[in-house]
């Protein structure tokens, strides 16, 4: 690819000189550029901590919400099981009382006809 | 690769600096890492775009993305990830510019954003020369500043891929594999870009 073969040592020296010039160009950055880079870095890291706080709060809220819903759904089940059973019992007792009366009426009717 | 007997003092000091730098990245926070790389990243973006404000925007977006997506990664992983994001943002900048010029071909992209590209070049050079005048030995430092200007101008003459590849490989010290990942290309392409960049730079700097 390269027509001229340069010795490796001069290649390294050449690259070192370019890198030195680039290092110097970074050292000589103006105070304004340095300040803006500083601000950019602070903004980037602040944004991250704010985003992290948001997600932590959202997760905590979601967990609390699920716990409340689960707790509320458990409470009514105990009341519901008692009520229908009590109603059935009461209904049975009423029915039994009526049946006894009806039986007694039928016996009285039979004895009267006899 | 150089054997121990062929290592020059310059090469050895570069190796030691590299080891020291890698050791330093192991136990630092993401903010400290960003403070280490921000100036070099700015210079890379500025050489690519030839525009201070664009370069600052690119570096800021890179920092935000690294912190948002990859702050949970280990410190060793941050460097290649950072440069991968930086390269991606630089390419996005050029795509946006191309699209802008396609639809608004009568407008100058930088002029519309409030600054002239040609003005920037002169301002940067004069600024560097003015800074050089503050030093005790102005003549010596003026030569240094002129060398800096020559090198940055020579880099700006390269294609974006070649200049970024050269800076990542040579200046930042990434190996071929890391550079390929950062630039989202094959290792063969990295080697090609790098050797062509070196050849062009040698020609440009030796001709002056």
Whole-number percent of chain B with pLDDT over 90: 52
Is the predicted pLDDT of residue A104 greater than 70, yes or no? yes
| Average pLDDT of chain A to the nearest whole number | 76
**What pLDDT does residue A2 have?**
40
pLDDT band at A73 (very low <50, low <70, confident <90, very high): confident
Is the predicted pLDDT of residue B131 greater than 60, yes or no? no
- Is the separation of the CB atoms in B174 and B80 below 8 Å? yes
**What pLDDT does residue A3 have?**
42
- CA A45 – CA B78 distance, rounded (Å): 14
Verify whether the Cβ–Cβ distance B195 to A21 is below 8 Å.
Answer: no
The verdict on A108 touching B (C-beta cutoff 8 Å) is no
Q: Which residues of B touch A47 (CB under 8 A)?
A: 64, 67-68
Residue among A18, A29, A51 minimizing CB distance to B151: A18
**What pLDDT does residue A9 have?**
64
**What pLDDT does residue A25 have?**
92
3-state SS, one letter per residue, for chain B: CCCHHHCCHHHHHHHHHHHHHHHHHHCCCHHHHHHHHHHHHHHHHHHHHCCHHHHHHHHHHHHHHHHHHHCCCCHHHHHHHHHHHHHHHHHHHHHHHHHHHHHCCCCCHHHHCCCCHHHHHHHHHHHHHHHHHCCCCHHHHHHHHHHHHHHHHHHHHCCHHHHHHHHHHHHCCCCHHHHHHHHCCCHHHHHHHHHHHHHHHHHHHHHC
Q: Which residue did the predictor score with more confidence, B141 or B33?
A: B33
**What pLDDT does residue B166 have?**
95
Whole-number percent of chain A with pLDDT over 90: 24
Is the predicted pLDDT of residue B14 greater than 60, yes or no? no
User: Which range, A43-52, B61-70, B133-142, B199-208, has the best average confidence (pLDDT)?
Assistant: B61-70
- CA B114 – CA B138 distance, rounded (Å): 33
Least confident piece of the model among A41-45, A88-92, B77-81, B131-135: B131-135
- Is the separation of the CB atoms in B34 and B71 below 8 Å? no
Residue among B2, B6, B170 minimizing CB distance to A18: B170
Q: What is the mean pLDDT of residues B157-177?
A: 94
- CA B55 – CA B57 distance, rounded (Å): 5
Mutate to test the interface with B, among A21, A27, A30, A32 (most CBs of B within 10 A): A21
- Is the separation of the CB atoms in B173 and B40 below 8 Å? no
Is the predicted pLDDT of residue B57 greater than 80, yes or no? yes
Cβ–Cβ contacts within 10 Å for residue B31, how many?
Answer: 17
pLDDT band at A66 (very low <50, low <70, confident <90, very high): confident
Is the predicted pLDDT of residue B54 greater than 90, yes or no? yes
Verify whether the Cβ–Cβ distance A33 to B59 is below 8 Å.
Answer: no
**What pLDDT does residue B132 have?**
42
Residue among A8, A15, A33 minimizing CB distance to B52: A33
**What pLDDT does residue B18 have?**
54
Three-state DSSP state, A28: coil
Least confident piece of the model among A44-48, B17-21, B50-54: B17-21
Q: What is the mean pLDDT of residues B4-30?
A: 57
Query: What residue of A is the nearest CA neighbor of B64?
Result: A44
Query: What residue of B is the nearest CA neighbor of A48?
Result: B68
Q: What is the mean pLDDT of residues B134-149?
A: 62
pTM (predicted TM-score): 0.64
Verify whether the Cβ–Cβ distance A45 to B34 is below 8 Å.
Answer: yes
Distance of CA B95 to the CA centre of its chain: 19
Query: What residue of A is the nearest CA neighbor of B57?
Result: A40
Calculate Rg over the CA atoms of chain B. 19
Q: Which residues of A touch B167 (CB under 8 A)?
A: 22
- CA B104 – CA A48 distance, rounded (Å): 36
**What pLDDT does residue A59 have?**
79
């Amino acid at each position: 690819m390269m027509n001229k073969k340069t010795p490796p040592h001069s290649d390294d020296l050449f690259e070192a000189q370019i890198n030195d010039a680039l290092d110097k160009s970074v050292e000589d950055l103006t105070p304004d550029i340095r300040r803006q880079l500083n601000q950019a870095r602070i903004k980037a890291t602040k944004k991250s901590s704010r985003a992290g706080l948001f997600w932590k709060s959202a997760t905590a809220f979601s967990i609390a919400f699920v716990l409340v819903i689960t707790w509320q759904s458990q409470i009514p089940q105990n009341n519901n099981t008692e009520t229908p059973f009590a109603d059935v019992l009461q209904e049975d007792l009423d029915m039994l009382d009526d049946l006894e009366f009806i039986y007694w009426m039928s016996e009285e009717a039979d004895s009267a006809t006899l | 690769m150089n054997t121990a007997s062929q290592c020059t003092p310059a090469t050895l000091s570069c190796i030691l600096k590299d080891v020291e730098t890698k050791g330093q990245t192991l136990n630092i926070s993401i903010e400290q890492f960003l403070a280490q790389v921000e100036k070099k990243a700015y210079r890379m973006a500025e050489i690519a775009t030839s525009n201070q404000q664009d370069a600052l925007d690119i570096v800021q977006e890179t920092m935000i993305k690294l912190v948002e997506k990859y702050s949970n990664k280990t410190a060793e992983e941050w460097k290649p990830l950072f440069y991968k994001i930086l390269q991606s943002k630089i390419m996005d900048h050029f795509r946006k510019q191309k699209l802008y010029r396609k639809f608004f071909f009568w407008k100058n992209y930088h002029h519309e954003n409030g600054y002239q590209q040609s003005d920037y070049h002169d301002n940067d050079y004069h600024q560097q020369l003015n800074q050089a005048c503050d030093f005790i030995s102005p003549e010596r430092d003026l030569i240094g500043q002129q060398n800096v200007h020559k090198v940055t101008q020579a880099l700006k003459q390269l294609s974006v891929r070649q200049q970024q590849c050269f800076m990542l490989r040579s200046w930042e010290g990434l190996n071929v594999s890391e550079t390929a990942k950062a630039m989202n290309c094959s290792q063969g392409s990295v080697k090609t870009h790098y050797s062509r960049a070196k050849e062009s730079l040698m020609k440009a700097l030796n001709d002056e």
